[in-house]
Chain A
Amino acid sequence: MKLPLLATRVGILAVKLSVAVLVALSILPLLMGGIGIGLEDEEEGEWALDGSTIRLEAPLMVSNDGFFDVTDLRVGFTFKDRDGNVLAVSEMDPVDIPAGRETAIPIEIALDLYDLDRQTRSDLIFNGTDMAFDLSVQARYTWNLVGMSVDGGSEMGWDALLGDLQVRSDMAYLREMDGNQTVVVPFTLYANDMVRDGQALALTEYWDSQGYYANVTQMVDLSDNIWEEAAVPLSSEAYDRVMTGEEQLTVRVTLFFLDCSNYEETTFTEQWGWGG
């Protein structure tokens, strides 16, 4: 065979052999479990509220025992409401995982509640809702010759951040403070772990059938068991009417959190009993 032809044949063989070697070196680590993904610490990865942003930080450990760097690894999350409307998109910066190394990738999912419309935000805070999130992982391997993407979705039930608000009219009582009469109305609520140590604003409104109206605001520290008492000032006439025990009273507690509100209202008479 003539030399140029031999050289071309050798070239063809070399390219084909190189591809065969590349394929083998690419597939082998996958078959042998050489590329692994896991959470660095199982306890990490809790949702937390940071200002108005719900955030999940979960450092992923990616081990690459293969022969090539994993390049351009991108992880993205898309949150959707139950109707499929996109609520938030979270994407991390591309990361390279060098061959033979284990690399921690800070995965951060951030959902700024102010990016949502008020109704959706209110549902998230006070009612709980069903949400869907799509996960997208993309990476390249073997000198960028092979690309892989994994797209999956899942539904997740979202518990209310502040829920189960109850006006405990059965525990209400009258109290005199500095010569002023007040009616003390307790209320309880549940606060999700995510918002604990934060504060919400409570507006307690009181009115009777004769047109007396009073309100009081207070900051509520969000903790494990929230039991708050709203002390609403009464005028002497209103107080007298309460004392007769025949007056129909209405108390509404409105909770404000991140520009959203939710209220609980109850109407009762003297049968709730005097205390104090």
Chain B
Amino acid sequence: MSGGEFSWKNASAGRGALSAVKGALKYLVVPLVLVTLGIAVVTNEDGPQAIADILGEMRSIVLVLGAVLTVLSFFHGAYPKGTYSRLTFGLAISVLVIVYAYLLLLNGRTQEVIGRELFEVDLWLIFTLYFFTAIFGVLMPLGEFMDRRPLWLNGTGATGTEGTEAPEAHRPYHDFRLRYGSLYNGLRLARNTLTWSVVLPLIVIILLEAGLTSLEVEELDPLLSSLEDVAAVVVLLGLPMTALAFFKGFYPRGSVSRFIPAEAMVLIGLYWIWVIGLEGKLLMEVEEIDISLDYSGLLMLIMLGSGLWLVYYALEFFLYRKEWKEGGFKKDLEKKSGKKKTLERPAEPLDKAPQP
């Protein structure tokens, strides 16, 4: 590591400002608006003072940590990818965000007040779930650093494998070589999948269970029981999907190593939708009246839409395969959902040249 990488010569104030705006929105403005709105609602509606008090404390935390994270975001964005300086600020942000979330629990008082004024909910469990995704947040700057470091050091624009490979000697199983992969993309997609297919559904289930249990309605017991079953299946399916998502993100478009996990992920995802949709049937018993809702048709339609991803990844494989081969089996370091950008490193003025 060189202290020179922290030199402002390597930084771009414009990119830093853009990153600071994003950070400010994410960590300061939106949370502050939400907390302020909460305080306003509680005050106007003569809500419990205890909730107003904890919201007031949260506002202080948001103001302080939001401001710090905004500043860190500025420096994180200002330094180029692959530098120790960017890595340091990226790690600092990731860790501080975990601390931020932890502090909002107010050492258990948030849970206590919500339990007393609204319903019993295990916020520690929700925080623990969040923590798993936050770990990916910590690993992502490391992944980005490892992906981009050679680029930064070489300053040649070369990305991916060193040297060239003869396309005719390349076999499909060679696609699984680790050197084709992007750690950052893999970690990012794994984190997103963990968030959307495990953590958020589990949080919704935890909140639903807490809310429904507080109603103390015996008729809802079957629904609560089925929610517990769904939670178990969400974890059982979500974790393999997260693992597959890592490889799907890790390997470049056009590779067999991306195509296979992508298709497997879609198939598991279809079953995941079926399970989380309670198999298209909702049964309730209210005062000896059985109510049954069969929305399996709608669920099938949703699955049909999601099933189109099978076509998408098959098309992607065939459309990018040739390009990837001809390009010399390079890493795919850009976001895969957007327009493919050049992998060449843009020319930089001399004063922004790498300072190894």
A8 to B338, CA, bound (A): 14
Judge if B99 is at the interface, Cβ distance under 8 Å.
no
With A15-B305, A145-B298, A146-B298 known to touch, is A5 a contact of B288 (CB < 8 Å)?
no
Partner of B290 from the list A1, A22, A147, A151 (CB cut-off 8 Å) is A151
Judge if A23 is at the interface, Cβ distance under 8 Å.
yes
Of residues 313 to 330 in B, which have CB atoms within 8 Å of A's CB atoms?
315-316, 319-320
Cβ distance B291 to chain A, nearest Cβ, rounded Å = 5
Partner of B338 from the list A1, A147, A151 (CB cut-off 8 Å) is A1
Are B302 and A145 closer than 8 Å at their CB atoms? no
Cβ distance A24 to chain B, nearest Cβ, rounded Å = 11
A residues in contact with B309, CB < 8 Å: 12
CB-nearest residue of chain A relative to B312?
A: A8
B residues in contact with A152, CB < 8 Å: 288-290
Cβ distance B196 to chain A, nearest Cβ, rounded Å = 14
Judge if A153 is at the interface, Cβ distance under 8 Å.
yes
Are A15 and B304 closer than 8 Å at their CB atoms? yes
Are A146 and B292 closer than 8 Å at their CB atoms? no
Cβ distance B294 to chain A, nearest Cβ, rounded Å = 4
Judge if B297 is at the interface, Cβ distance under 8 Å.
yes
A145 to B306, CA, bound (A): 17
Q: Can you list 15 A-B contacts with CB-CB less than 8 angstroms, sorted by A residue number?
A: A1-B339, A1-B340, A4-B315, A8-B312, A8-B315, A9-B312, A15-B304, A142-B297, A145-B295, A146-B298, A147-B294, A148-B291, A149-B290, A149-B294, A150-B292
B residues in contact with A145, CB < 8 Å: 295, 297-298, 301
B residues in contact with A16, CB < 8 Å: 302, 305-306
A154 to B288, CA, bound (A): 9
CB-nearest residue of chain B relative to A145?
A: B297
Of residues 146 to 202 in A, which have CB atoms within 8 Å of B's CB atoms?
146-153
Judge if A106 is at the interface, Cβ distance under 8 Å.
no
Are A5 and B316 closer than 8 Å at their CB atoms? yes
Partner of B319 from the list A5, A18, A142, A151 (CB cut-off 8 Å) is A5
A-B CB proximity, top 5 nearest: A15-B305, A145-B297, A147-B294, A152-B289, A151-B290
Are B306 and A142 closer than 8 Å at their CB atoms? no
Cβ distance B131 to chain A, nearest Cβ, rounded Å = 30
A residues in contact with B297, CB < 8 Å: 142, 144-147
Are B298 and A5 closer than 8 Å at their CB atoms? no
Judge if A19 is at the interface, Cβ distance under 8 Å.
yes
Are B315 and A15 closer than 8 Å at their CB atoms? no
A residues in contact with B319, CB < 8 Å: 2, 4-5
- Beyond the given A15-B304, A152-B288, could you list 11 further A-B residue pairs with CB under 8 A, ordered by the A residue number? A1-B338, A5-B312, A19-B305, A23-B298, A146-B294, A146-B295, A147-B297, A148-B291, A149-B294, A150-B292, A152-B290
Interface of B, secondary structure class, is: helix
With A19-B302, A145-B295, A146-B298 known to touch, is A11 a contact of B288 (CB < 8 Å)?
no
Count the B residues whose beta carbon is within 8 Å of the partner chain — how many?
26
Cβ distance A123 to chain B, nearest Cβ, rounded Å = 25
Cβ distance B287 to chain A, nearest Cβ, rounded Å = 8
Partner of A146 from the list B293, B304, B306, B308 (CB cut-off 8 Å) is B293
Cβ distance B315 to chain A, nearest Cβ, rounded Å = 5
B residues in contact with A19, CB < 8 Å: 298, 301-302, 305
Cβ distance B281 to chain A, nearest Cβ, rounded Å = 9
CB-nearest residue of chain B relative to A149?
A: B292
With A19-B301, A152-B288 known to touch, is A12 a contact of B312 (CB < 8 Å)?
yes
Of residues 119 to 151 in A, which have CB atoms within 8 Å of B's CB atoms?
142, 144-151
A1 to B339, CA, bound (A): 5
* Interface flags, A1-41, vs B, CB<8A=1, else 0: 11011001101100110110011001000000000000000
Cβ distance A143 to chain B, nearest Cβ, rounded Å = 8
CB-nearest residue of chain B relative to A11?
A: B308
Cβ distance A153 to chain B, nearest Cβ, rounded Å = 7
B residues in contact with A22, CB < 8 Å: 298, 301
B residues in contact with A12, CB < 8 Å: 305-306, 308-309, 312
Partner of B288 from the list A2, A23, A142, A153 (CB cut-off 8 Å) is A153
A19 to B273, CA, bound (A): 14
A residues in contact with B312, CB < 8 Å: 5, 8-9, 12
B residues in contact with A11, CB < 8 Å: 308
Of residues 15 to 69 in A, which have CB atoms within 8 Å of B's CB atoms?
15-16, 18-19, 22-23, 26
A66 to B291, CA, bound (A): 20
Cβ distance A72 to chain B, nearest Cβ, rounded Å = 12
Of residues 93 to 107 in A, which have CB atoms within 8 Å of B's CB atoms?
none
Interface centre among B306, B312, B340, by most A CB within 10 Å?
A: B312
CB-nearest residue of chain B relative to A17?
A: B305
A19 to B301, CA, bound (A): 7
A16 to B309, CA, bound (A): 12
Are B305 and A5 closer than 8 Å at their CB atoms? no
Are A15 and B292 closer than 8 Å at their CB atoms? no
CB-nearest residue of chain B relative to A12?
A: B308
A85 to B312, CA, bound (A): 57
